[in-house]
């Protein structure tokens, strides 16, 4: 399958400064600290990990919406960091984002029509009023809303409906890739499934590629073809969905999976499951532990884990893991 996006050793470090007049840098938040993965055309790549592990920062970097400290992000083979204005414009049409908060990300005093149509106007794609209205109706229908909702205001809608509006807006420019940052996390569980089904349906119809960010392994499981597990700014495991849930190799992935509600786990895997508790809090990205950055919370940690950072090692079927237990 063709590779649409490729991230190579991405680092995003935020400087921490002290002093009011003479700011000096006293440290850096290593939000993303050496992340590599690729995304194939038409697939959904899930990105999971606890709060603060750098998922959103990775997503924003993919969107070319913040400056990476180092590394490369290739879109269809070209490094987006070197794009000129025209190339950025084209890139913006091809790669869109859906955000977590359907309340905060949509202006409640704007009509649905203007919210969805804004990208069309910005990119000069609204030929005339009739064509514009037709396109808005079409976009509303694509996400399961009714065309006559176009003249209502965002604040009149429920969370699930607002997220559909957000998706319709992201679709307006006919992107090929959508980066979804926790798109269902703010919704009730019953509504989550509906919105995930919309994502799936749109993917089947339009051949979309998704990068689907979520802290919730149960959600990611429902939509992903492959899954990237992040910990403190790094990728610690990548595998196909089936592989990851059947045969998680990293102790961190195992711990995350053991916390997923029973109903979301296969019955045949269930008997092998033992709850693995994560020790303590996630360390600060201002002060990342030496060696394997997970060693402070790992029940399997060995002497080596304190000093040597494990490299990503390829196993069978595209399964890769960064752990000294799997040399
Ligand atoms: N602009 C910024 N300046 C300084 N630190 C930042 C900035 N943006 C993010 N961070 C820090 O970088 C780390 C990673 O943040 P990020 O938002 O990417 O995590 P996340 O995995 O998306 O978490 P969540 O699940 O809570 O959304 C956090 O410690 C966060 O506080
Ligand atoms: Mg986030």
Total of domains in the chain: 1
Would the CB of 10 count as within 6 Å of ligand 1? no
- Smallest CA-to-CA distance from 62 within 104, 98, 27, 100 is with 98
20: in domain: no
Residue 327 lies inside a defined structural domain of this protein: no
Q: How far is the CA of 128 from the centre of ligand 2 (A)?
A: 38
CB 281 within 8 A of CB 204: no
Any atom of ligand 1 within 6 Å of the Cβ of 30:
no
Give the pLDDT score at 267: 44
Supply the CATH number for residue 280's domain.
3.40.50.300
| Residue 239, H or E segment | strand 234-240
In this prediction, residues 67-77 reach a mean pLDDT of 96
- Domain carrying residue 178: 3-15+28-321
**51-78: average pLDDT:** 95
DSSP annotation of 72 = E
| CA 115 – CA 136 distance, rounded (Å) | 10
Which residue has a Cα nearest atom 4 of ligand 1? 14
Binned at pLDDT 50, 70 and 90, residue 127 comes out as: confident
Question: Is the confidence at residue 122, as pLDDT, over 70?
Answer: yes
CA of 6 from ligand 1 middle (Å) equals 21
What pLDDT is stored for residue 106 in this prediction? Answer: 80
Mean per-residue pLDDT, 294-311? 95
Cβ 54 under 6 angstroms from ligand 1? yes
Question: What is the model's pLDDT at position 279?
Answer: 80
264-285 mean pLDDT? 67
Ion ligand 2: residues, Cβ under 5 Å: 55-56
Which of 12, 51, 54, 105 is the best mutation target for the ligand 1 pocket, counting ligand atoms within 8 Å of the beta carbon and taking the most? 54
pLDDT at 288: 95
Residue 8: pLDDT band (50, 70, 90) is very high
Is the shortest distance between the CB of 51 and ligand 1 below 6 Å?
Answer: yes
The answer, yes or no, to whether any atom of ligand 1 lies below 6 A from the CB of 153, is no
Tokens of residue 86, six digits: 């025209």
Return d(Cα 212, Cα 96) in angstroms, integer: 12
**What does the pLDDT read at residue 18?**
86
| Mean predicted confidence (pLDDT) in 137-157 | 94
Using the predicted structure, report yes or no on whether residue 265 has a pLDDT greater than 70: no
C-beta atoms surrounding 121 within 10 Å: 12
* CA proximity to 4, closest of 185, 158, 210, 163: 210
Strand pairing report for 44-48 and 209-213: parallel
Q: What is the pLDDT of residue 17?
A: 87
Q: Flag whether pLDDT at 244 surpasses 90.
A: yes
149-169 residue pLDDT tens: 999 998 899 999 999 999 999
Measured distance CA(194)–CA(201) in Å, rounded:
10
Decide if pLDDT at 271 tops 90: no
- Determine the average pLDDT of the residues in 96-115: 86
- Tokens 């990300």 belong to 105
The overall average pLDDT reported for the chain is 91
pLDDT for 108 beyond 90: no
Higher pLDDT, 79 or 268: 79
Summarize the chain as % helix, strand, coil (round to 5): 40, 25, 40
**Closest of 227, 215, 222 to residue 182, by C-alpha:** 215
- Ligand 2 centroid distance, CA of 131 (Å): 36
For 140-177, give one letter per residue: b (16+ CB within 10 A) or e: bebbbbeeebbeeebeebebbbbbbbbbbbbbbbebbb
Residue in 31, 34, 69 to alter for ligand 1 test, most ligand atoms within 8 A of Cβ: 31
* Within-domain flag for 139: yes
Q: Which atom of ligand 1 is nearest to the CA of 54?
A: 18
Of 21-35, 239-253, 254-268, 286-300, minimum mean pLDDT range: 254-268
Lowest mean pLDDT among 127-141, 196-210, 226-240, 261-275: 261-275
**Ligand 1 pocket mutation pick from 56, 100, 182 by most atoms within 8 angstroms of CB:** 56
Residue 50 covered by a domain = yes
Nearest to 55 by CA among 285, 313, 244, 248: 285
The DSSP bridge partners found for residue 227 are 46, 239
User: Which ranges of 172-322 does DSSP label H, i.e. alpha helix?
Assistant: 189-206, 217-223, 241-246, 251-258, 267-270, 303-307
pLDDT of residue 270 exceeding 50: no
What pLDDT does residue 123 have? Answer: 87
Contact indicator for 287, 276 with CB cutoff of 8 Å: no
Instruction: Establish if 118 belongs to a structural domain.
Output: yes
Q: Is residue 91 part of a domain?
A: yes
313 within a domain of the structure (yes/no): yes
In a domain, 240, yes or no: yes
pLDDT at 195 over 80: yes
């Amino acid at each position: 399958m063709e590779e649409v996006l490729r991230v190579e050793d991405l680092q995003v470090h935020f400087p921490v400064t002290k002093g009011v007049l003479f700011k000096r840098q006293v440290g850096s938040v290593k939000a993303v600290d050496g992340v590599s993965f690729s995304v194939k055309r038409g697939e959904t790549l899930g990105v999971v990990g606890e709060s603060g592990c750098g998922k959103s920062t990775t997503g924003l970097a993919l969107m070319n919406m913040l400056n990476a400290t180092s590394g490369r992000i290739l879109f269809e083979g070209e490094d987006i960091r070197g794009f000129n204005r025209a190339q950025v414009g084209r890139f913006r049409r091809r790669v869109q984002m859906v955000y977590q908060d359907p309340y905060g990300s949509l202006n409640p005093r704007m009509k649905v029509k203007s919210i969805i149509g804004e990208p069309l106007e910005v990119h000069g794609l609204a030929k005339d009023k009739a064509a514009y209205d037709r396109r808005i109706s079409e976009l509303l229908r694509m996400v399961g809303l009714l065309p006559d909702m176009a003249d209502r205001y965002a604040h009149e809608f429920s969370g699930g409906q607002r997220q559909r509006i957000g998706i319709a807006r992201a679709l307006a420019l006919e992107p090929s890739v959508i980066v979804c940052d926790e798109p269902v996390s703010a919704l009730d569980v019953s509504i989550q499934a509906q919105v995930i089904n919309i994502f799936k349906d749109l993917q089947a119809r339009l051949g979309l590629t998704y990068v689907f960010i979520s802290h919730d392994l149960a959600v990611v499981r429902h939509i992903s073809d492959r899954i990237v597990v992040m910990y403190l700014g790094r990728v610690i495991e990548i595998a196909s969905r089936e592989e990851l849930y059947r045969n998680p190799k990293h102790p961190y992935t195992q711990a995350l999976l053991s916390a997923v509600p029973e109903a979301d786990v296969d019955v045949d895997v269930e008997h092998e499951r033992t709850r693995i508790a994560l020790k303590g809090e996630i360390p600060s990205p201002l002060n990342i532990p030496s060696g394997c950055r997970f060693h402070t919370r790992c029940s399997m940690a060995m002497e080596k884990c304190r000093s040597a950072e494990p490299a990503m090692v390829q196993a069978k079927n595209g399964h890769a893991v960064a752990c000294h237990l799997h040399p």
